[in-house]
Homo-oligomer: A and B are copies of this chain.
Amino acid sequence: MKEEKIKKINGGVCAAQGFLAAGVYCGIRRNRTKKDLALVYTPAPANAAAVYTRNLVKGAPLAVTKAHVDAGKISAVICNSGIANTCCAGGKELAEATCALVGEALGIPASSVAVASTGVIGQPLDLAPFRRGIPELVAALSKDGTPAAQAIMTTDTINKQAAVEFELGGKVCRLGGMAKGSGMIHPNMATMLVYLTTDAAISKEMLQRALSSDIESTFNMMSVDGDTSTNDMVLLLANGMAGNEEITCENDDFRTFMCALNTVNIALCRMLAGDGEGATKLLDCVVTGADTLADARKAAKSVICSSLVKAAMFGADANWGRVLCAMGYGGASFDPEKVSVVFRSAAGEVEVCRGGSGTDFSEEKAKEVLSANEIIIEVSLGGGSFSAEAWGCDLTYDYVRINGDYRT
């Protein structure tokens, strides 16, 4: 019933009151036709919550952002694409200098700026392009979130934005966001770059609780290629401008807020997975009938991570044995003889496995179902009442092409 109150609207990181954004080309990339620097700004400082990559090798900006988020409110986010500022001497100093430049340009403390970088690992990043770009960004700030969403793209083919509207105590609130990510996506407790903004009033503690809880069923249930990036983060800013009574505990308003957050995050997940490097199809694996939530999640995620399942889906080949195989090594507990598998898409559905054995399905029909650009792999484990959903994409020639020579 909560979901009914959540209305999808156009927009992204500027959907919520008070948030402005801009994106420009500043010279980090060689390709001048692609924006490479983005800024998000809220004149009303925002409570901030964040989750970061668990990769042991971390991008230098993450430590700087974490220190700023932990210390107080956040007023701006600066993010470049092209170079990851990771595995380079002086990376932390550069990230700090970037925050200082943004602080000067906006007249805010450097410590209220979050910073991020995405792109090639191990190449040095220079401050000069930031010096040029930041004043331009400040001059270009507007309610249009698209230039910023474009500026954080790397191998993404589309920019990714989503937003919703909902009410808290009679006040209209909005929550929206933008995301980038196409390869090296296999989040672990955090994910690619996702910036979420809301005008709802919510305490820093409850904001972090909402984010940490939600990513377990959204960004952490998505994978493009099994590689967890060094620079992933999800940042959620709440500036309180909607004027609702601040959420400070797990009340009805908090649950409504969680639904709003979940709606935006699932929309972004589907865009990220569907735009995976080289992908031609979005894969959506829905597992039901698991004995525990953990089993359901492990099974769903193992299916969408399997290179063999991904390649079969690319070829529209109903090779369901690979689905069972992937679940079998994924660490979930289930009885193989109770499993059934259905492939479903806009072109119809076909049950390919029942009671752990193949059905006498029509290969022709299966080919038709699997030729759609969005495939649902529905697995029933025939056990308990837990379920989970995971998102991924097919493995294609283009994934190999893109990653065989990413740097040049």
Contact = CB atoms under 8 A, between A and B. Distances in A.
Contacts of A320: 122
A356 interface: yes
A87 B336 contact: yes
A317 B120 CA distance: 12
Contacts of A405: 312, 315, 317
Contacts of A396: 400
A328 B230 contact: yes
Contacts of A333: 56
Contacts of A312: 403-406
A29 interface: no
A221 interface: no
Nearest to A90: B357
Nearest to A54: B329
Given A86-B321, A403-B312, A329 B228 contact: yes
B403 A325 contact: no
Interface residues of A, number: 65
Contact of A319 (B336, B356, B399, B407): B407
Interface string A158-184: 000000000000000000000000011
B55 A353 contact: no
Contacts of A325: 55, 57, 121, 184, 227-230
B57 A225 contact: no
Contacts of A314: 400, 404
A401 B317 CA distance: 12
Nearest to A403: B311
A249 interface: no
Interface in A71-103: 84, 86-89
A336 B403 contact: no
B56 A336 contact: yes
B306 A122 contact: no
Nearest to A119: B321
A27 interface: no
B321 A120 contact: yes
B321 A122 contact: yes
Contacts of A124: 358
B56 A227 contact: no
A55 to B, nearest CB: 4
B84 A321 contact: yes
Contact of A87 (B226, B353, B395): B353
Contact of A307 (B84, B227, B229): B227
A57 B56 CA distance: 33
Given A57-B328, A228-B329, A314-B400, 15 more contacts: A56-B336, A57-B325, A122-B320, A226-B226, A227-B306, A228-B328, A229-B325, A230-B328, A307-B307, A315-B404, A315-B405, A317-B405, A319-B407, A395-B400, A397-B397
- Ranked nearest first, the 9 interchain pairs of A and B with the lowest CB-CB distance are A121-B321, A315-B404, A57-B328, A311-B403, A228-B329, A55-B328, A122-B321, A56-B328, A122-B358
16 contacts: A56-B328, A57-B325, A58-B336, A121-B319, A122-B358, A184-B322, A226-B306, A230-B321, A307-B307, A307-B403, A311-B399, A312-B405, A312-B406, A319-B407, A397-B397, A399-B400
